[in-house]
Each structure stands twice: as C-alpha cells, then as structure tokens.
Structure 1
Amino acid sequence: TGYDSYGLYKSYPTFDKEEDNKGTLYFRLQNNKSEYKSIDSLINIIEKNYPFDFARPVSRVAKIKADTLSGMCNYISGVDSYIRQKYNDPHFSIKMNGCKTKNKSTGVLLYRLKEGYKVSAILDDSLKNKIYLGESIVRIDGTEIQKLSSERANELLLKEPNGVSKLELKNSKGEVRTVEYTHKDSYKIPSNFVQKTEFSTINDEIVYLKIKHIDKDALYIFLENLPEIKSKKKLVIDLRNNGGGDFLIGAQILSLFIPDEFKYYQLRDKFSGKNEDVIVNKNLSDNIISNKLELRVLVNKNTSCVSELLAYNLKKYFKNTKVIGIEHTAGALATLYEVLLENNNNVKFRTNAFARSIIMLDGKSIEGKGISPDIHVNIRKIEDLQPYNDKVLITAISK
C-alpha cells in the first residue's frame, strides 16, 4: 500500500510508494569489469531509462571525453560535463567524493538581455574603474558568446587564481575595447546577492517571504508569522532560485492556503500509462490563511521541482494568486535516486531515470516547459534585476 506520509496524504497511487521515490541503488557488473567500464555501462542503462528524452534545449552532439589516463577524477568531470550538455537536467549528474575541486571564481557576472549579454555585477573593486555595469560583453577570451547559453557563458568567466581573462566590451556608442584582468583567490559576494530565507514587512498592507528551499525551516517561518500574514492585505512569496526540496513539506505549506482536500499532483505509471492522483487531506488545524489575502508568487528559470508544485497549486486553488516573473520556471519536476557503484561508493549518480512513475500536473508534464507567469516582467536594463531595483518585486507590490 502507498505510504501515507504521517496521514497527510489521503490517497497515494497504488502502483507506487512515496518512500520508494527517494532511495539509494547500488550498481554492480557481474563480470567485474573496470570502474570505467562500470560507469559506461551504468550511463547506458540510465540513458535507456531516461524518461524525458530531449525535453529541454540540449546538445545532441555531446560526447564523453574518454580520457582514462588522467585518473578517475578527471574522467568523472568529463562524464558530468557530457551529462549537463546532453540533458541540461538538474536531476541528472555524477560526482566523485574525494576529488580536489579546482578553486575557480570570477570577479564579473553577466546576464542576457534581449540585445545580448551585459555585465550584471562587478565583485572585484579593482575592476570597477575598468568595467561598468550594463556594458555589453561581445567575447570572452576570444570566444563569441552571443549564441552560448547563460550557463556556458558564465563558465567561461570562471578561472583559477592568477588565471587571466580577456573581455571584449561594447559601450552604448558601439565602441569596442578589450580589458584583461588577473583572477584572485576569491571574491566577496555583496549582501544583496545572497539568497536567504527571510520574512519582512514591506508596508502596512504587504509582507514578504523569501523561501530558498522547501524544508521544515520554510514551514516553520510560515507558522511563526501566521498572525501577521493573516492581518495583511497581500503576501509576496519569493520562490526565485528555489531548487525544490521535500514533497511532504510542500504539501503542508499548501495546506495553509488550501484547507479542503486537494489534488497535489498525479503519477503516471511508466509501465501501464495509468494516471493516479496524490490527494492531500483536509487541514483540520487552525493554521489556515483566508483566500481574501492577495498572493503574489515570484518565480524565475531556477524555480524548480517542489517549488514549481507550490506555484502551480497556489495558482490553481488560491483564488487571489498571481505568478510573476521574467521567464517560465525550470520545468524540472521529478523524484530523485542516488546510484552508487558497489565497488566504489565514492562515485555517485543523481538521476530521475529509475522512478517507476512520472509526475504530472492535471495530465500534463511540465518537464522542460515549466510554468509561465501570469504577469511577465520585461527586463530592459541590468538595474531592473533582483540585486538592484528588483522590478519583479516592485511589480508584485503594485499589482
């Protein structure tokens, strides 16, 4: 029978078990092949079972760097790079414990606007007289970045200490110049860039809650501030850069807003194609937020997994909800397994390939698609972004 998660779930699909969707698997080849062959075989099995084949923008020509001479750590790094390029899936990766990670950092960050990449932050004070916020970046170390993904372009900016970066910059007049600089050991991140869970009062009518991760701390901060939330006209829940967390905690948070039993999500059996609902029980406590409250949920492309469930269900069941953002959410809604090599537990895959079921929202998968905002915020300049004037938050306060 399905695991009832301490009574919170009224109904869970009969073909699946909630506790089976978070597990550790051990992989072993019977003929005792080398670790490299074991990893290759495991990748092959995972790829054959991968449930969301090319649901996201990916590189179909990605190849594993088959360099076994440089050691296991370098090989694992190459495999992980291959996985990221081919699948672009936050639930699919590999790492190896004990490998020394290269200390790479950057004093400059970038962001893609409509007309191209712009300097979005300067973390090194010595560069502030050489590079200016909002300048266009044309090339990094000779590589033109216009057609590169944001992740790849930002990777080019990362260097080890004493590494040298060369940026080709273009100002508002179209003038191009080159700036070279040497990387330091590390850079201090300004406080306005640091993401943390916080509750604050914006004015007499509006309160703001930033949730970095869906965990017990997120639930507790709701419960601790429930009296003040209930006394206000509007609550802004900031789920930007929230990578998800605990499905059960997500259901408990939603129950504060949805007192009646509700359909949380569906599971589709990969074998039969049958859909069954995950139903959350009625909230019998006094911890209920009136639907007279205006709710604004902030999202971005890094809002993923359980945080997407929150945004979707609040939009569906809580009548005064508006989802606000620059772009759609990540579209990464899946359960996760850790897969270890039996002969080397330091090598660890994270993958969604072995779950028996696929998570659906009202019969549809949002994998690779995400959730579109009700109110789309157009970012015209770098100062509109969150670390600065935060046009998304301003929109949430005013609408």
Structure 2
Amino acid sequence: MRIKIRVWLLLSVVIIGIGVFLLPKFTIAKDSLEDIISSVKVYIEALYYVRNAYIEKNLDNKKLEYESIRGMVKALDDPYTEFFDPKSFKTFTEDMQGVFGGVGIRLESKDGKILVVSPIENTPAHRAGIKPGDQIVEVDGQSVINKPLDVVVSLIRGEIGKEVKIKIYRESEKKYYEYTLKRELIEVPVVEYKTLKNNIGYIKFYEFTQNSPQKIIDALKKLEKSSGLILDLRNNPGGDLRSAVMIASMFISDNDQVKTVIKNGETKTFTTKGVVVYRMDRNQNLYGEKVVKGLYRWNKPLVVLVNRYSASASEILSGALKDYGKGILLGEKTFGKGVVQTIFTLSDGSALKLTTEKYLLPSGKDINKEGIQPDVIVEMAPENVGKDNDIQLEKAIEVLLKQLSKLKEKEKLVLNKK
C-alpha cells in the first residue's frame, strides 16, 4: 500500500509539471490535461518500479527518460519525426548555420535506412568516393540500422582532426565498403553559379537554409545577362520551408493562377492565385503560403533539374514552378516528402521535431510518398551529377535552347506583323 501511495504522490508531481509546461502552449488542445495524465499513469507506475526496485541502483535516469521518448516517437512510425537530446539538437542547429566538424555527407532516413543524399564536394567523404544512394550501416563499429537520423549524424560528426570509421552498403554493386575518414571543418555550400555555353545561366542549389533566398538573388543578379537559366535541385534534400516560398516568389507573381483540386473525402475545386504551397493540419484546415512581394524577379526561360533525391523544400519549389508553368522540370521523379515538421524545444535543451502538417502543391496534388514526375524524363545515376557524363544537364541545355529558339521565332513574327 505504501508503494502505491508513493506512486500516486509521484504522479501528482507529474500532473503539476505537465500543467506548467503544456497548458500555456496548447490551451485549445484536442486532448485535455486529464486525458494526458490518464494515458501516462501506467508509464509512471512502471518508471517508479524500475527506478526503485531494479537490481542495479545507479541507473542513468536521463537515459531512461530519453529512450522512453524515443520509443514513443518510434511508435508513430514516421521517419521524419525525431527526438533530439541536447547534443543532437546542437548538431541540428549547426546544420541550419551550415558549419560543423564532420566528413561532408548529406543524409536522409528512408524505410529504416540512413542513405547518402550527396557528398559535399572537396570533403573527406567526397574524396574517399562515397556516393549518393550509399546506405550507412555502421559508424565506428556500431550498427546504425533503424537508428534515428539525428543519432547517426551525431556519431559521424565530432572533433576536427579525429578519425571516424564508416561502413556503407552500395546497392548498385551489392557490396560493402569501409572508410576511415578524418573529420574536417565542413562549410556547407548553399549556391554555386556559372555561365554555360550559349550564354545559359546555371545555378547549383544544394540546400534550403535561412540565407538561401539572398544567395539565390545574388546569383540571379550575376546571371541577369544570360538568355535563360538552369536551376539544379538534384540531390537537394530540402530544408527551410519559408526559404522555398521566398525563392518561388522570384519566379511566380501574385497574379499567376492555377486550378486547384483537393481530394479529401469530398472533392473541392477552386482557383488558386499566387499561392506557392498549401499546408493542411490534422483537422484538415488549409493554409496557403502566398508569394512574397518585392523580391528580385526572373522572367526568362527556365529549366529545373530534379532527381530521386530532390526532396521536401526542393519539391515545394519545383512543384510550384511546374503547376504555374514557370519552368520545365527535367530529370527523374522526385523523392516524395510532402509533410511539414515543427520544432518544439524542451526545458532541458532537448527538442522534438514533430510532423504537424502535410503540404499540397498549388494544384492540390499530394506528393507524399509519390514524388513529382518531371516534364522531360532523363534517368541517370545520382553520382553522375556534375560529372563529364551528366546527360541530364546536357539534355537541359538542349531543351532550354529549343525554348529560346521558339521565343526568337515568335519575336520575328511580331516584328513582321508590324
């Protein structure tokens, strides 16, 4: 009886704590405080017995707490929802800043596998020969299969100059490879640009960070004398949603419109004007992210390169450009990540990245697990991006030149009529 009394005393403390931390944020929450307390009653009882009756006294209580949260997150069966302990959350925020100690690989979690989206050029991973699509299976001898993405990233990153051993599986060759890499200061490139033959502008866009829109504006201004533009989103894993909206606003105006069809139980059809992406919450409420006015505008022909590792914000941008007819998509079907995550910081410096919404293209298309089919399909191994045998880029140049040729013909017809 005394044990049960103690359990309920502990539970009452938890009730007070939950009231302090949750109620101010979710005053209109679906689940009441009483519902939440009732749902964790058995967990609190189990935790009490583990901490007070387990044979070993010196338990790592913080580890018990974090692993309990990870177990809850895993039960959601959502590859994009993650719990970050304080160290992992620091790694995550470093990603947004773009500077950290590591080996230079962009990673994505899919079906319990940690896959290389792309190695960053001139980094240890790139020089060693790690390729897009490689599966990370071990880090320093520790299996990472079915491990959360943040845990794997924190294992790979670390002190500059220290070595890390990475074992990968390459599906295309059915072989395992092991690499010993020395960590370096990694500065993630966001945008690279140049002028190709026939005065074609080219922008390689690596990742959507908070400073990406200004980087793209700077590149567009440098290329404004180009006759047309190739925007390369291949192997771009996405990132900041707001950045995607702002960059789309450089090509789409608030007067552009498209027919929208929402299929959600019943079919709704309406006209969308100047919306880059729709967000839909758990209650099926729809929110339109409209174009941002006053940004630099590009009005010349555009081809957008995409592949199987163009994901998330890359799909928001490329999908909006396709829906409004602002550019020709070329390459292969995109990754298919059509959900939005929100970061909730917790009281001890840890954080929860939780899927809170899904997004729909301006046309109403739900691309989650489906991806976007390009207008011109050109299949190519992801590791050939930027190489001499980059047939997708060659085809993009060909398609853009045809577009420019058609424009010249139209201009001639207009002049002849005058």
TM tier, shorter chain?
Answer: 0.5 to 0.7
Task: Find the counterpart in structure 2 of residue 370 from structure 1.
Answer: 371
Quick one: distance in 2 between partners of 1:350 and 1:163? 27
The 1:257–1:32 alpha-carbon spacing in structure 2 relative to 1, beyond 3 Å, is same
Matches within 5 A, 1:88-167: 88-90=78-80, 92-98=81-87
Give the Å deviation of 1:88.
Answer: 4.5
Task: Find the counterpart in structure 1 of residue 196 from structure 2.
Answer: 202
Quick one: distance in 1 between partners of 2:386 and 2:64? 36
Task: Find the counterpart in structure 1 of residue 277 from structure 2.
Answer: 265
- TM-score normalised by the chain length of structure 1: 0.55
- TM-score normalised by the chain length of structure 2: 0.53
Task: Find the counterpart in structure 1 of residue 94 from structure 2.
Answer: none
**Is residue 318 of structure 1 aligned with residue 313 of structure 2?**
no
What is the CA RMSD across the aligned residues, in angstroms? 5.7
The 1:80–1:369 alpha-carbon spacing in structure 2 relative to 1, beyond 3 Å, is farther
Retained in 2: the 8 A contact 1:266–1:277? yes
Quick one: distance in 2 between partners of 1:98 and 1:376? 42
Quick one: distance in 2 between partners of 1:165 and 1:398? 40
Retained in 1: the 8 A contact 2:330–2:374? yes
Gaps of 5+ in 1: 1-28, 50-65, 112-116
Gaps of 5+ in 2: 1-9, 31-46, 52-58, 92-100, 109-114, 256-273, 400-418
Give the Å deviation of 1:246.
Answer: 4.3
Retained in 2: the 8 A contact 1:257–1:318? no
Quick one: distance in 2 between partners of 1:74 and 1:164? 28
Q: Which of 287, 290, 297 is matched with 1:288 structurally?
A: 297
Task: Find the counterpart in structure 2 of residue 15 from structure 1.
Answer: none
Deviations 1:49-90 (A, max 9, x none): 9xxxxxxxxxxxxxxxx9984442476367548746963433
Task: Find the counterpart in structure 2 of residue 245 from structure 1.
Answer: 240
Give the Å deviation of 1:315.
Answer: 0.9
Select the structure with the greater relative contact order (CA < 8 A; seq sep ≥ 6). Answer: 1
Matches within 5 A, 1:358-397: 358-361=358-361, 362-379=363-380, 384-386=384-386, 389-397=389-397
Deviations 1:231-276 (A, max 9, x none): 32321222332423142x43333232223431223344643x4546
Q: How many residues align?
A: 312
Task: Find the counterpart in structure 2 of residue 398 from structure 1.
Answer: 398
Retained in 1: the 8 A contact 2:191–2:206? yes
Q: 2:191 is aligned with what amino acid?
A: T
Sequence identity (%): 18
The 1:328–1:97 alpha-carbon spacing in structure 2 relative to 1, beyond 3 Å, is same
Quick one: distance in 1 between partners of 2:77 and 2:317? 25
Quick one: distance in 1 between partners of 2:297 and 2:168? 53
Give the Å deviation of 1:323.
Answer: 2.1
The 1:266–1:385 alpha-carbon spacing in structure 2 relative to 1, beyond 3 Å, is closer
Task: Find the counterpart in structure 1 of residue 348 from structure 2.
Answer: 345
The 1:133–1:331 alpha-carbon spacing in structure 2 relative to 1, beyond 3 Å, is closer
Retained in 2: the 8 A contact 1:386–1:392? no
Retained in 2: the 8 A contact 1:296–1:324? yes
Give the Å deviation of 1:101.
Answer: 10
Quick one: distance in 2 between partners of 1:189 and 1:388? 28
DSSP 3-state at the match of 2:318: helix
The 1:278–1:233 alpha-carbon spacing in structure 2 relative to 1, beyond 3 Å, is same
Matches within 5 A, 1:270-281: 270-271=282-283, 273=284, 275=286, 277-280=288-291
Task: Find the counterpart in structure 2 of residue 211 from structure 1.
Answer: 205
**Is residue 31 of structure 1 aligned with residue 12 of structure 2?**
yes
The 1:30–1:167 alpha-carbon spacing in structure 2 relative to 1, beyond 3 Å, is closer
Give the Å deviation of 1:210.
Answer: 2.6
Q: Which of 232, 251, 254 is matched with 2:248 structurally?
A: 254
Retained in 2: the 8 A contact 1:338–1:350? yes
